Amino acid sequence: MVLVIVVIDAPRRQQRLTLEDVTNQGRYLLNNFIYERMQSDGIETVPGIEQLQEPGTPTGPPMEHVREIGRALRFIGDDLDKDQKLQELVNRVPPEAERQTLLTVASNIFKDGIFNWGRVVALFYFAYKVCLKALDRIPLIRAIINLIVEFMRDHVVRWIIERGGWVNYYTMITSGG
């Protein structure tokens, strides 16, 4: 019989990542991504961050380096402004599009089965661009965000968990990986 002892360094120990927690953290990051992109793009009537979600919406457990994670996501999002193919795709989708249309576009981002952080940001970017078309309709913005969060929960969050969560994205980019 072999006895295996696992020693965990307390400061480095990570809590167990759950689908619900990582999804809610993703919601928080998506809301911040949309809000801060609107501000940096000079949108005059930026809805408050609290308006982007229903009161009491869970945000998941606190994350270390949440500002830095958000900044890194936005940095990749800035590069997507130059992606002509993505711009054409987004421009064809009205904010009132049927739920299935929005889900189809979201699915197309990952249609080849390849997941990476750039594509996760492309999903955030898509949500931002569609929400931008609905600035005067807060309930519609909330519905778009909720739909993208549902899509993330069903198709993307497990991949994020396998990579150690959103915090490991920060670790990866700061280590040059």
CA pair distance 54, 104, nearest whole angstrom: 25
Phi, psi (degrees; rounded to nearest 5) at 72 = -65, -40
Helix, strand, coil tally for the chain in percent (to 5): 65, 0, 35
Rounded CA-CA distance 89/85 in Å is 6
Show pLDDT as tens, one digit a residue, over the chain (177 residues): 433 233 233 344 456 889 999 999 999 999 999 999 999 989 888 888 888 888 787 777 677 777 888 888 888 888 898 989 888 888 889 989 999 999 999 999 999 999 999 999 999 999 999 999 998 899 999 999 999 999 999 999 999 999 999 988 877 777 766
Q: Residue 145 in contact with residue 30, Cβ under 8 Å?
A: yes
Break the chain into its structural domains and give their ranges: 17-43+62-174
Measure the CA–CA gap between 85 and 130, rounded to whole angstroms: 15
Rg of the chain over CA atoms, in angstroms?
Answer: 17
Q: Which CATH number fits domain 17-43+62-174: 3.40.1390.10, 1.10.150.20, 3.40.190.80, 1.10.437.10?
A: 1.10.437.10
- Map residue 60 onto helix, strand or coil: coil
- Asked if residue 149 lies in contact with residue 167, where contact means CB atoms within 8 angstroms, the answer is no
> Which pTM does this prediction carry?
0.85
The pair phi, psi for residue 110, each rounded to 5°, is -115, 20
